Structure 1
């Protein structure tokens, strides 16, 4: 399994124009949450695929190790059989010597077959090892990107809430500007001033009425004096005695 086949869908998501998606989304928070879920699911899928790739590599490595070990064992058997054939040949037992030489040849053939299998597997093991290393690195990077995506999601959601709160404050301020409560207070103040003016007017009227009453008392005093003096004249009493 290639790295591209595992990370193909994730790469498409990473290349998406997130800003454009957010601009067109009715609810950016839901879109961000969906992106986090999708990315998390893709990581889980990648982990499963990578685990399978690693499992296949380990099986290849086990088979390779078995072939190498088998080649060594068959080599030892060939050596033992060849030594036994030489021993029989020295003893003049040609038939037994030929038998063990044939066994040595069979062991050498098995050794060669195991070595060839190991040689054929080596390039594939090296290639798969490189693939697994790159997949592990890619998976680590993906997990780092997921952390960044989650952090960015939280930041954008917080900024959206802050903007909405500020918008509410601005709307409230606009409402205050449109319906200014101080205008009602001003009208009440005018009413109070008119009432105060009315009271002042009443006070002035009251003061004017009191002055008129005092003036009438003065006039009455003078009239009384005049009447007394007139009576004195009529009685023939001198005016100078009136003061006594």
Structure 2
């Protein structure tokens, strides 16, 4: 697979979708990160070569521009000396140099387009790499969390927590039973107290009645 084709596939890929389909998401994300890193290294190597080509073309253009100006100057001097033949020859050389310049400018435009494309793709690829690394951290945290939970469930501490909860529920139930007994006792006591007061009233009333009858007899 070519470099540009591989870069395009990576940039257009949906990391979340790939991980959802993967049997081993952690292994998949590691593979993606390694592939992206390798591709970035290749991109930077290609970019360095392209930039070197660009500088070489720019140097050649600079030299040919100076040469074209020199032939232009020589043609003017030849005309001033009334040497039209030399002026014509100088302009012919200038034309040759200008044609070479046109070709180099076209090459420079193509190279600049390649540089721009590499910069754009490299930037997108780097963003994807950062996204993948962030996803890797998330997966790692989730894995550690689940491992810790599983370890806790198999530990004595987890069993002790369950036992403590059961004991607490039992203790709470005992307290509820005691409170119920106290409430029932208070209710019975209140009922007894009321009955005692009523009986006392009845006894007092009977005494008053007997006392009244006794007064009548005495009178």
Residue of structure 1 aligned with 2:68, choices 58, 67, 71: 71
The match for 2:206 is none
Taking structure 2 as the reference length, what is the TM-score of the superposition? Answer: 0.62
> Are the equivalent residues in 2 in contact too, given 1:78–1:104 (CA < 8 A)?
yes
- Taking only aligned residues, the RMSD between alpha carbons, in angstroms, comes to 3.3
Residue of structure 2 aligned with 1:106, choices 84, 89, 100: 89
> Are the equivalent residues in 1 in contact too, given 2:72–2:94 (CA < 8 A)?
yes
Taking structure 1 as the reference length, what is the TM-score of the superposition? Answer: 0.56
**Does residue 1:13 correspond to 2:20, yes or no?**
no
Gap runs ≥5 in structure 2: 168-219
Deviations 1:102-132 (A, max 9, x none): 3222211111111122123323322321231
The match for 1:29 is 26
The match for 1:141 is 124
Q: CA deviation at 1:58?
A: 2.2
Q: CA deviation at 1:72?
A: 0.7
1 CA distance for matches of 2:51 and 2:147?
A: 49
The higher-RCO structure (CA 8 Å, 6+ apart) is 2
What pairs up with 1:181-196 in 2 under 5 angstroms?
none
The match for 2:134 is 151
The match for 1:127 is 110
Q: Which structure is larger by alpha-carbon Rg, 1 or 2?
A: 1
2 CA distance for matches of 1:165 and 1:23?
A: 23
Gap runs ≥5 in structure 1: 87-99, 184-244
**Does residue 1:45 correspond to 2:45, yes or no?**
no
The match for 1:56 is 53
> Are the equivalent residues in 2 in contact too, given 1:67–1:118 (CA < 8 A)?
yes
Aligned length: 166
